[in-house]
Chain A
Amino acid sequence: MARKARAAARHNASGFMVPELYRVVKAWRETHDSFSLELAPADGSPVMRFLPGQFNMIYLFGVGEAPISISGDPAGKTLVHTIREVGSVTRRMAKLKEGDTVGIRGPFGTDWPMDAARGNDIVVVAGGIAFAPVRPIIYSVFNERAKYGKLAVLYGARTPGDLLYEKEAKCWRSHEDTEVLMTVDRALPGWSGNVGVVTTLIGRSKSGNDFDPYNTVAMVCGPELMMRFTVRELIKHGVPESRIWISLERNMKCGIGLCGHCQMQSHFICKDGPVFRHDRIRDIVNRREL
């Protein structure tokens, strides 16, 4: 709650629509089509506080604005975003270098249920670039490791070259009660890791890591098709639907539920989401007309 209050305070101070100036501290490639930016306030003030799962609107002056999940440590002194080059704004962002400036509005949206997850096992399932918005969950667990049960991180990507945060994952694996499994959809011989859809890791984790489904909070982020099948698989392995959370992505523009670009029936993804409990959004997310 204290962090929520801090985040709100930041909002009130800056206003929702006024970007704050942030300086690029460091920029680096993650994969052939994704990169990370480490940012700090240009005026030297403390970095904004955020909660795992929230996003910022990053404004590249003269080019445009894009909603980007925060992928860094909520307790960190800088702000980290991992971005995939998919459109004109993100392609230009990929060219940013140390010392360049961007505008930031945020943080926006709902957060992963870290408070509700305390005392429970946690299963994080991510696909593709959506490993970025779940990484703050992992940092938060490690920041207060004793407060959580077992942690399973299950991650799927297209090819071995598309896997994010591989080096970091090796460190995560060394933590007690922590399992990190990665898989790819396609690979060439010589790859000794997993090949297969990410949902196959749930069964493996269930038997290997032995998470307790009734005392598990599952947090899922990725393409909607992947999330749909992941939710089914989690339920099949005994995780109650009310303990499964997903993060949705829509065409977010204003970030505060005014413009309606990201509206799904009565929900504004930017304001009421992007993180939703699955049983509360199931009927909407699976509706073909929306």
Chain B
Amino acid sequence: MEKNEIEAILKGHPFFEGLDAGQLSAIADCATDSQYETGQFIFKEGQPSEHFFLIRSGGVALEIFVPGKGPIILQTIHENSILGWSWLVPPYKKQYDAQAVKPVKALKFDGKKVRGLCEKDPKLGCTLLMKFSEIMSERLWATRIQIMDIYGKES
């Protein structure tokens, strides 16, 4: 995929709203096109977290392996969603497994390069941090609701 195509995708996506043309161009330089077949692992728990993804189509299951029980799906991520935030915080290790449940087309961003951009351009760093915080906050909230078992008979 050409850089101008990547820039066009970023420009039209709400996650990158608020970034100027130069910042979008710099982030586009960190992105590559990637595809995954159903059942393919995009990453696994404990691996170095070097990338994050913008899912363009398909579906991804975030799973955790529970000894004695096997893997459990915690959440599914779909088109237009951002996947992965552990590239942003030390020790930069993946917290879950991510497996494609439908054929996935995604933009794959080099986290180390993006961190470098953020260090050079603190405004960009602050904007991205706030956007990722929003995603983390929403997912934390959703996980809490799931843990509460609101559809259980005692609820």
Measured CB to CB, the nearest residue on chain A to B142 is: A197
Chain B residues closer than 8 Å to A33, beta-carbon distance: 153
Chain B residues closer than 8 Å to A200, beta-carbon distance: 142
The proximity string for A residues 19-61 relative to B, scoring 1 for CB distances below 8 Å and 0 otherwise, is 0000000000000010000000000000000000000000000
Chain B residues closer than 8 Å to A187, beta-carbon distance: 72-73
Flag whether A194 is at the interface (Cβ < 8 A).
yes
Interface range, B side: 20 to 34
Flag whether A86 is at the interface (Cβ < 8 A).
yes
The reply to whether B146 and A189 contact each other, CB–CB distance below 8 Å, is no
Indicate whether A194 sits within 8 Å of B151 (C-beta atoms), given known contacts A188-B71, A189-B99, A229-B145. no
Flag whether B44 is at the interface (Cβ < 8 A).
no
Flag whether A275 is at the interface (Cβ < 8 A).
no
Q: Which of B74, B101, B151 contacts A127 (CB 8 A)?
A: B151
Chain A residues closer than 8 Å to B146, beta-carbon distance: 185-186, 196-197
Q: Which of B102, B149, B151 contacts A192 (CB 8 A)?
A: B102
Interface Cβ pair total, 8 Å cutoff: 73
The reply to whether B80 and A195 contact each other, CB–CB distance below 8 Å, is no
The reply to whether B150 and A225 contact each other, CB–CB distance below 8 Å, is yes
The reply to whether A127 and B73 contact each other, CB–CB distance below 8 Å, is no
The reply to whether A226 and B73 contact each other, CB–CB distance below 8 Å, is no
Chain B residues closer than 8 Å to A157, beta-carbon distance: 151
Chain B residues closer than 8 Å to A86, beta-carbon distance: 153
Other than A84-B153, A128-B151, A229-B145, give 19 A-B pairs with Cβ distance below 8 A.
A127-B150, A129-B151, A162-B151, A185-B150, A186-B73, A188-B71, A189-B71, A189-B99, A194-B59, A195-B61, A195-B76, A199-B142, A199-B145, A200-B142, A207-B80, A223-B151, A223-B155, A225-B148, A226-B145
Chain A residues closer than 8 Å to B152, beta-carbon distance: 158
The proximity string for A residues 202-217 relative to B, scoring 1 for CB distances below 8 Å and 0 otherwise, is 0010010000000000
Shortest CB distance B7–A (Å): 21
Shortest CB distance B134–A (Å): 12
